[in-house]
Structure formats: C-alpha cells, structure tokens
Amino acid sequence: MELAWTEKYRPMKLDEMVGQDAIVDRLKAYVKTRSMPHLLFAGPAGSGKTTAALCLTRELFGEIMGNFLELNASDERGIDVVRTKIKDFARTVPLSGKFKIIFLDEADALTPDAQNALRRTMENYTSTCRFILSCNYSSKIIEPIQSRCALFRFRAIPDEAIKDRLRYILENENVKFSEDGLNAIVYVSEGDLRRAINLLQSAATFGEVNEENVYSIASRARPEDIRNLLNLALNGKFLDARNLVDKLILNYGMSGEDILLQMNREVMNLDIDDRVKVGIIDLIGEVNFNLVEGANERIQIEALLARIMNLK
C-alpha cells in the first residue's frame, strides 16, 4: 500500500521544515553543539512538533534509532509506563553519543501522577537521556516539568508556506490543480499542514484538485455561502436563509456546530457595523453552548437566524 502523502513528504532534515524558521534555527544550534536540554514543544495540531523531534534526532544520531524511543501518551499515559518502560530505557547507556532521546507525544494527556513520576526520572537520568515532550496545551503540563524544559511554541503554518509545500507535492505527483483549489485547502486546513496534505491527497483522487472537490471532501461550505447566509438573515429574508441552511446540511453534510464555526469565522468579513458583528458573535456563542448541552441543532440554527434578523 502506498504511503500517505503526510508520511511520504515528511521532512528528513530541519532545513526542510516550513513555517517554523525561528524554531529551526534554535534546534540547529543544538545539533551544532551536539548537546541539548529537555525540550517542550507546544502548539496547534499539524504545526510540525513531531516532525521537528524526528528531524532533530536524525541529525544528532543519523540512522542509529536505538538511541530514540517514541511514545504516544494518549495510548500509554499511566504511571506504570513511566516507572517501567520510560525508566528502563532512560537508565541504560546510549549506543553512541552522549545521550538518548525519549519523545513523548501528546504529553498533556499524561495523568498528574504520571507527570510527577516523570519529573523525577527526568532529573535522575539527565546524564544518559534527554526528553522531548510534545503537547497542544503547555498549561496542562505541571510546572516542575515546564521548569526543567526549554519551551518551544509552534505557531500555525502560514498560508503561503502551506501553498508552497502543496505545489511541491503536486509537481512531484504530476497532479492537475487550480489556484482556487489550493486556496480552498488553505481555508479549510486553518494552518494545519498535516490536514492540508491529507485533503490534497483526497482531492487528487478525483483527477484534479479544484475548489469544488476540496469543499465536497472536507464537508465544508464555501466562505461566500456562509456570508450569504448571514446577509440574508441581516436583511430580513428568513425563509431564504433557512433554505440555504437546508442546502448546507444536505449537500455538504455539515452539522450544526460546523455551520456555527464557519459563521463565527466569516462574521468579521461582513461589511456591517462592528456593534452588529459583536452581537452576532455573542448569539453564536450562546447557540453553540446550547448544542453542546444537547439541544436540537436545526431548531437552534433557525432560532439564531431569527435573532440575527432582530439585531438589524
């Protein structure tokens, strides 16, 4: 079976990473000195945290993977894993070089007890092992661990960097594409390069990457459709707005929460008074809470449209 493009086009060296230039420069300094502290990578999904850890390890150790242990904390996050698997690996002598590396992905899923056990292991085996912790939210990592690590905050990948990477893949795969198709992928992925590449591969199965294929695969509405929905409600055309909601749900398979998220994103692009924008965002937040509590999504969306009409 052919590799997914996210794996096939994963950078092999730090220089090949996109959108994280400042972080790459700091990591290259560690490679140059052949030394590093414990590291904590924090940032949104698809921003390159796992890739950075793998590239750093590869440049430090080459193909010697016996010095590297990768664990996903969402699968193995109990205190027993820290006391056995992690501790046993950390206490052994590295095959080459000064130290080993343990990469703990999704470390914010570790239980508090496991994190407290981990901090002692990090302290006791610094001479033979370094830790790289990856998480979406650094606030979920206890302070004693944060103080032992050099913190790297990854940002969402810039739109132009995503488009450049997608063009590189398309040219290597000889896939036809349109600029509108790339713009649609960038809009849907919201800075997540992994998601962008997966969308690209899915859209390429249709023979050409274009706007229509991307939005169909992603089950997302076009931005102009959402803006049109809001404008219809603001102009008092409730039935037209209601029919457009039905179209979005039936044609794109969108849920009520999906529609709310896109409405919240597109409100700021409307040519209306800021006070009205604030009112709409407030109403969207209230309806989103109702949906989380289990309310009927069709009734809530229609109620939202009616209340937006009253704003104007």
Domain boundaries, the chain: 5-153, 159-218, 223-311
pLDDT of residue 294: 87
Place of tokens 């979406």: 136
CA angle (22, 25, 28) in 5-degree steps: 150
Mean pLDDT within 266-283: 92
3 state SS of 154 = coil
CATH superfamily of 5-153: P-loop containing nucleotide triphosphate hydrolases (3.40.50.300)
For residue 291, the tally of other CB atoms under 10 A from its CB is 16
- For residue 92, which of 72, 67, 65, 114 has the smallest C-alpha distance? 67
The CATH code of domain 223-311 reads: 1.20.272.10
Looking at the predicted structure, is the pLDDT value of residue 63 above 50? yes
Token pair for 37: 């502290």
Spatial separation of the C-alpha atoms in residues 55 and 40, rounded to whole Å = 15
CATH class, range 159-218:
mainly alpha
Tell me the per-residue pLDDT of 30-58, one tens digit each, with 9 for 90 and over: 999 888 999 999 999 889 899 999 899 88
Q: Are 208 and 177 in contact (CB under 8 A)?
A: yes
Token pair for 3: 């590799």
Tell me the per-residue pLDDT of 123-182, one tens digit each, with 9 for 90 and over: 888 888 899 999 998 888 999 999 999 999 999 999 999 999 999 999 998 989 999 999
Tell me the per-residue pLDDT of 86-107, one tens digit each, with 9 for 90 and over: 788 888 877 777 888 889 888 8
For 154, list phi and psi in degrees, rounded to 5. -85, 140
